[in-house]
Amino acid sequence: MAKVLWRGTVGSILLSWTIIAIFTFAFGAMVLANAYGSDPSVKISGGEWLAPLSVFAIGFIVSLAWSRASVEVDADEVRVRLGLGFTVRRFAWSRVASVECIDVRPMRWGGWGFRWIPTKHTHVLVLRAGEGLKFTLENGHVFIVTVDGAKRGLDVIRGILSDPRHAR
């Protein structure tokens, strides 16, 4: 792997807290149902709480991990990673037809999160509204990601694409 020339990150506290709230609400509803349920023979007790607590803990960790993303650019390729390093997109510069910095509005792309829009041959990773990078590939497919410092990233990418090694 080549030296990273630019790395942009993005995080969404709102997304984290929304996911945490959902898991907390579900866990709380389960506790209340258990406490006030009418049939004492089906109540959860002792070690039986391990499974629901595990689900809650996993949900908490996933919410923190999946509410952050990064875009890494090097001389050979671009990588988009989600959370703790899970690569969601990776493509060589030879596959990139164009890159631009755009203003991303979540509701235009179906909301927050990772979206696939088959009618537009587009994948979108939206963790917040604002600046992002739009990659159009040679096959017409599009990948859009919100990222802090997208304009700076675009400058680095233009420098890479102007290198004769990446000429088409």
Number of domains in the chain: 2
pLDDT of residue 35: 77
Query: Quick one: pLDDT at residue 168?
Result: 54
Asked if residue 119 and residue 44 are part of one domain, the reply reads no
Find how far residue 99's CA is from the centre of its chain: 19
Same domain, 51 and 92: no
Which residue from 57, 119, 114, 122 is spatially nearest to 87, judged by alpha carbons?
114
The pLDDT assigned to 16 comes to 75
Query: Domain containing 23: what range?
Result: 12-65
Q: How many CA atoms lie within 13 A of 113 on its CB side?
A: 10
- Looking at the fold, whether 103 and 154 belong to one and the same domain comes out as yes
How much is the pTM? 0.76
pLDDT category at 117 given cuts 50, 70, 90 is very high
Q: Are residues 53 and 33 in the same domain?
A: yes
Mean residue pLDDT across the chain: 86
User: Do 61 and 76 have their domain in common?
Assistant: no
Q: In terms of domains, do 44 and 99 share one? A: no
Total residues belonging to the chain: 168
